[in-house]
Chain A
Amino acid sequence: DQQVKQNSPSLSVQEGRISILNCDYTNSMFDYFLWYKKYPAEGPTFLISISSIKDKNEDGRFTVFLNKSAKHLSLHIVPSQPGDSAVYFCAARPGGNDMRFGAGTRLTVKP
């Protein structure tokens, strides 16, 4: 039962262009959402988060958008850089200590 879904296993973009990574969730109790970045053979590192009371949060080149009615969030990276190439995980919390993760999207940024 995947409550957090990332339907695109991979994405390839040109350096300098925008990368858009998408995430859908099914549990309406989720009220805090996070994006993590992961390199091979390493643990995920926190990238950006958003609370359900907001619909947008921005941090430098990274912006997360939340559409609660559609149960959808997205991560925008502008401009994309080769160093952004990694696997990106979407995560959600329904309160408490239970965090659910999507399957990840592998982003490749080509020079």
Chain B
Amino acid sequence: DGGITQSPKYLFRKEGQNVTLSCEQNLNHDAMYWYRQDPGQGLRLIYYSQIVNDFQKGDIAEGYSVSREKKESFPLTVTSAQKNPTAFYLCASGPPDNYNEKLFFGSGTQLSVL
């Protein structure tokens, strides 16, 4: 059963703590993405990766870091430098360099600050 799996579904972060959100896909997609959703603001692009060992910053990359060591995995770390991390985080994947293709989304991770 192909798809994108995000974990955990809910995550709490303490002040000054780094946390990592997991995203795994078995769709054999080369491109993967991280979006952040805030109420009333839609989805904003944090980082994306078109191929293993390569990634680019999106519109709001400050305070976040990513890695792409495997095609299937694209973890997102929310660092202590991200001062307003509370949001719903969505991971997506899709074929690379083919803009007439839709993205497939995971079910999301809700991150809250304690």
Contacts and interface: CB of A to CB of B under 8 A. Distances in A.
Whether both chains belong to one complex is answered with yes
Interface of A: 2, 4, 6, 9, 31-32, 34, 36, 41-46, 49, 51, 89, 91, 93-104
B96 interface: yes
Contacts of A32: 99-100
23 contacts: A32-B99, A32-B100, A34-B102, A43-B6, A43-B92, A43-B106, A43-B107, A44-B43, A46-B102, A46-B103, A49-B100, A89-B42, A91-B43, A94-B99, A95-B99, A97-B48, A97-B94, A97-B96, A101-B42, A101-B43, A101-B44, A103-B42, A104-B42
A43 B90 contact: yes
Interface residues of B, number: 30
B105 A44 contact: yes
A49 B42 contact: no
Interface in B25-84: 31, 33, 35, 40-45, 48, 50, 58
